Amino acid sequence: MTELDELWRLTRDTIGTGRLSVVMPVYNLSATIEENLVATAELFDSHSIRAELVPVDDGSADGTADAIRRAAARQYSHVVVKPVFCERNGGKGAALKAGFAASTGEYVMLLDGDLDIHPKQTPWFFEQVAKNGADIVVGSKRHRRSVVQYPWHRRVVSWVYFTLVRMFIGLPLTDTQTGMKLFRRQVLGDALARMLVKTYAFDLELLAIAHERGAKIAEAPVVIRFGNKFGALSPTTVKTMALDSLAVFYRLRLLRYYSKVEIPPPLARDPMVSIVIACPGDSWMLRECLAAIAAQTYRNFEVIVLPDGRTVFGQTTTTIIPTGKVRPAEKRNIGINAAKGDLVAFIDDDAYPDAHWLEYAVKYFGDESIGAVGGPGVTPPGDGFLARAGGRVYDSLLVSGNYRYRYKAGGVRRDVDDYPSCNLIVRTGILKAIGGYRTDFWPGEDTLLCKDIIDSGKRIVYDPWVVVFHHRRALFGPHLRQLGRYAFHRGYFVKRYPSNSLHLSYFVPSAFVAYLLLWLPVSCISVHGAFAECAQMLFLAVPLSLYAALVVATSFAANPLMWAMTAAGIVASHVCYGVRFVQGLFARRAPCEFIGKDHA
């Protein structure tokens, strides 16, 4: 028996009566994925390894899905192929999460679908598990026994990156990005439950979490021959990788987020979700929303659409309830009363959910203290130029400040006291106990709903993975009209419902407007003396110069026109919000306090 045969025997013994799950993220690999899956299955089958291959098609636009289905149709003695198909591309993190959820093995291997690292190297990984008790084994290009054909410029970039990783993250590794890793199932599941990064720094965050949680990590040699496939790193890739890596450092070392984040207990059963959509009538956006709902990975749901009048959408599983021309709050209350689910998921008709929307939200309701879950409403990439500019204004740090997480994917999980109804999932029992939405305001009814949920003793949790894509109003007119309504009601609520509206950040735009109103009179005042002249100059020049610099810096875009539009949109938003907030603050009543006026 050769040394390699002995290692394959060691692999079989380590797996025992269990199973090895091989999760393979795949994107646009129609030319090679069938051959790669067959080769992997035949390899494990020939060595009598009990394995399941879980290829995850991450929304490929070519014939990848069909190629995977052909490979899955083949029969083996010890191997099964269990494909997972994602309707939209969600990034490596989302693909691996989906694959892990579909897998069952006590050991889980993450393996890139292009097989740049061939699975015949699997025994070297199990050698580390059996002999050193490793919980995680990472393939390393820098292992002394590795054989790597690797462009010199990539070696330099890789060396710099991992030097920084060792300094700031403290991982006992020489490599994190190689596409072959082996995990004990419990260790991988624990780390995945705390993950936030979806793209380039996914591997780094995964290993950083596991290491902090006490997992023992070892490295194994790999043989890699990239050939001519390795192109140059794009500036966008480098920037994203750097920002994601810094975010991992910040959460790991400064926030201590990964050790503190709570993991809800498992659900006893899959609760039914009633998805409620208030809308005026049929539209292409509503049909887009319904199509995305139909592609949900979580399947126990019903859909309730509430248009003004009778209409037919073509979906046999959709319940349509004509409501007449009433406001969204009244429509949603009708939906709540008709809901059969344990949870009600609210989404706007001008938004559409990520394929994992319900899957990622529902898991929180194993914790009885949680009454509602929300997530970001991201600007869709297909929106027009002016709508995307409006989206960039909303997710600007200068406009949304601490509430930027509502419009931009990323950030950390947190408890919130106010969240918009374009992406909010609530326990049905709570909604009925508090009487649903109040109907004397629009907009602002979701702020009051959240206040009532909090007042009932339940929590509202934000999760950055619970994503919907929300079409934006175009700059400038539609965007500012919408923003002005929000600002007026926020100002009105500050004095009437302060518990989740009386926050200092809401007053900042009004302070900026007050400064602008004072600027001209102060500039016209004649002052005498060096001190007075210096004070006047400081008042006139310093705040405005600093503000202009921040606007220019935070609105940067590679497209000069987009840069200029975003910068102008930020200034216009500050002025509009500041003026309308003060109007609401001093108003005797809100215009929509009585029924009749603004219809969505």
CA–CA separation, 138 vs 215, rounded Å?
Answer: 12
The pLDDT of residue 531? 79
Cis amide bond preceding 381, omega within 30: no
Residues 6 or more apart in contact with residue 269 via CB below 8 angstroms: none
CA–CA separation, 416 vs 2, rounded Å?
Answer: 60
Paired tokens of 326: 């009433």
For the chain, how long is the longest CA-to-CA vector?
98
Residues 6 or more apart in contact with residue 175 via CB below 8 angstroms: 138, 139, 140, 141, 142, 158, 162, 219
- Please name each of the domains of the chain with its CATH number: 3-259 (3.90.550.10), 269-600 (3.90.550.10)
- In the chain, DSSP finds a helix count (H) and a strand count (E) of 21, 21
138, 207 Cβ separation under 8 angstroms: yes
Cα distances from 433 to residues 118, 327, 416, 430, 453, in angstroms, run 57, 21, 20, 5, 10
Residues 6 or more apart in contact with residue 43 via CB below 8 angstroms: 119, 120
Residue type, 483: L
The pLDDT of residue 150? 66
465, 376 Cβ separation under 8 angstroms: no
Tell me which residue has tokens 């935070």. 554
Cα distances from 344 to residues 277, 334, 461, in angstroms, run 10, 12, 15
165, 130 Cβ separation under 8 angstroms: no
The pLDDT of residue 439? 85
Of the candidates 195, 320, 323, which has an alpha carbon nearest to the alpha carbon of residue 248?
195
CA–CA separation, 20 vs 104, rounded Å?
Answer: 8
CA–CA separation, 357 vs 292, rounded Å?
Answer: 10
pTM: 0.82
Of the candidates 569, 406, 553, 590, which has an alpha carbon nearest to the alpha carbon of residue 473?
569
H or E element at residue 104: none
Q: Which residues of 107-139 are buried (b: 16+ CB within 10 A; e: fewer)?
A: bbbbbbbbbbbbbbbbbbbbbbbeeeebbbbbb
HEC profile of 475-509: CCHHHHHHHHHHHHHHHHHHHHCHHHCCCHHHHHH
| Per-residue pLDDT in tens (0 to 9) along the chain, 600 residues | 688 889 999 999 999 999 999 999 999 999 899 999 999 999 999 999 999 999 999 888 888 999 999 999 999 999 999 999 987 777 788 888 889 999 999 999 999 888 888 999 999 999 999 988 999 999 988 787 877 776 666 667 677 777 777 778 888 888 887 889 999 999 999 999 998 887 778 888 999 999 999 999 999 998 886 554 544 456 777 777 788 888 888 898 888 999 888 888 989 899 999 999 999 998 999 999 999 999 898 999 999 999 998 776 655 568 999 999 888 999 999 999 999 999 999 999 999 999 889 999 999 999 999 999 999 999 998 899 999 999 999 999 999 988 999 998 777 899 999 999 999 999 999 999 999 998 887 778 899 999 999 999 999 999 999 999 999 999 999 999 999 999 998 999 998 889 888 888 999 999 999 999 988 888 788 767 777 778 878 888 888 899 999 999 999 998 999 999 999 999 999 999 999 999 999 998 776 654 444 344
Tell me which residue has tokens 């007053």. 507
